[in-house]
Amino acid sequence: MRKTILSTFMLCLASVAMAQPAGGFGGFQMPQVKLETSQEWKDVNYAGDNQAYHTCDIYLPKQEKASYPVVIHIYGSAWFSNNSKGMADLGTIVKALLNAGYAVVCPNHRSSMDAKWPAQINDIRAVIRFVRGEAAKYKFDTSFIATSGFSSGGHLSSTAATTSGLKQTKVGTVDIDLEGSVGCHLDESSAVNAACDWSGPVDLTAMDCGEAMKMGENSPEDVLLNSKLDKEPDKYLSLSATNYVDPNDPPIIIFHGEKDNVVPCCQGKKFFELLQAAGVKSEATFVPEGGHGMGMYSEENLQKMVRFLDSVR
């Protein structure tokens, strides 16, 4: 099942990519969702390099204030898309955050076709630094910056949290530069105050922990790392948010569907257990009938997310 979903997804992306401008592997753009905002900025380049994969959309709540706490929400694409900020759960997660008074930043990031790991977390860290560096222009309250994301976006959100404050490290035999040098605000911090993980793959060494999770010859994580788990396991550890869990991590809330047939629910459950064992403030909701996105965005769950972020603040 998962192999079929992945194959279909990649074929769709390939057809979209042929229509994209040179220099970028394209992604889906959903029909415009009407959001109630006081101000919006589209296609803002957070890296200063004129690349579409380094742009973001910025939304401010309808109620005007001098500044707003910020949530950076990251789309899911199995890391295959570099231009899908327009499908970043605008009518669900983003809408709920805006209604609760949060500014929302939806960024693009480099795909696994553009660059291999850790380029993707380097991009998200650049977005975090951009939020701090451009706070006055966009009315950002930098006393609270959180990440959020669905699927591979949930992975990036979670990894930004569990590596918060860690710029460079060694995972087994792998030296990994988590911070990178993307953008014009390298003097700013890339730490976050909280994170939301919606159906994220967080332990890339154990993607077969659930039933019917067998992949084809190349899984999305294989493509992202240009490797195989049995050949270079340390690379897969370096990609895993779970590998970096420690008591200093910011608060994290997890949502995962028990019937997720793309990213098994045991991913979220293991993550929650590790966070709890480390003493990290964390909550988890495992939806009995929830799939990979389907059945996950109930008003109850969206309000749980908002209450959690509010409690951290």
Which residue has 């909280």 as its token pair? Answer: 194
| CA pseudo-torsion sign 98, 100, 102, 108 | negative
pLDDT of amino acid 14: 35
pLDDT of amino acid 110: 98
What does the pLDDT average to over 139-147? 98
Question: pLDDT for 237-282, tens place per residue?
Answer: 999 999 999 999 999 999 999 999 999 999 999 999 999 999 999 9
What does the pLDDT average to over 120-133? 98
pLDDT of amino acid 285: 98
Answer yes or no: is pLDDT of 111 > 70.
Answer: yes
Lowest mean pLDDT among 14-18, 138-142, 178-182: 14-18
Answer yes or no: is pLDDT of 283 > 80.
Answer: yes
Q: Where are the domains of the chain?
A: 35-312
For residues 271 and 269, give the distance between their C-alpha atoms in angstroms, rounded to a whole number: 5
pTM passes above 0.85: yes
Question: pLDDT for 53-110, tens place per residue?
Answer: 999 999 999 999 999 999 999 999 999 999 999 999 999 999 999 999 999 999 999 9
- pLDDT level of residue 31 (50, 70, 90 thresholds): low
Kindly report whether the peptide bond that precedes residue 118 is cis, defined as omega within 30 degrees of 0. yes
pLDDT of amino acid 218: 87
Amino acid at position 299, single letter: E
Contact call for residues 67 and 122 (beta carbons, < 8 A): no
For residues 100 and 109, give the distance between their C-alpha atoms in angstroms, rounded to a whole number: 26
For residues 151 and 200, give the distance between their C-alpha atoms in angstroms, rounded to a whole number: 4
Answer yes or no: is pLDDT of 24 > 70.
Answer: no
Structure tokens at 37: 């905002």
pLDDT of amino acid 121: 98
Answer yes or no: is pLDDT of 2 > 60.
Answer: no
Mean pLDDT (the chain) is 90
Amino acid at position 41, single letter: W
Note the maximum CA span of the chain.
Answer: 53
For residues 221 and 178, give the distance between their C-alpha atoms in angstroms, rounded to a whole number: 17
Contact call for residues 2 and 33 (beta carbons, < 8 A): no
pLDDT of amino acid 305: 98
Structure tokens at 296: 């996950």
User: What is the DSSP code string of 227-296?
Assistant: S-TTT-HHHHHHT-GGGG--TTPPPEEEEEETT-SSS-HHHHHHHHHHHHHHT--EEEEEETT--SSTTT
Contact call for residues 159 and 253 (beta carbons, < 8 A): no
Question: pLDDT for 179-215, tens place per residue?
Answer: 999 999 999 999 999 999 999 999 999 998 886 556 6
What does the pLDDT average to over 118-142? 98
* Beta-carbon count within 10 A of 56 CB: 25
One CATH from 3.50.50.60, 3.40.50.1820, 3.30.465.10, 3.30.450.70 for 35-312: 3.40.50.1820
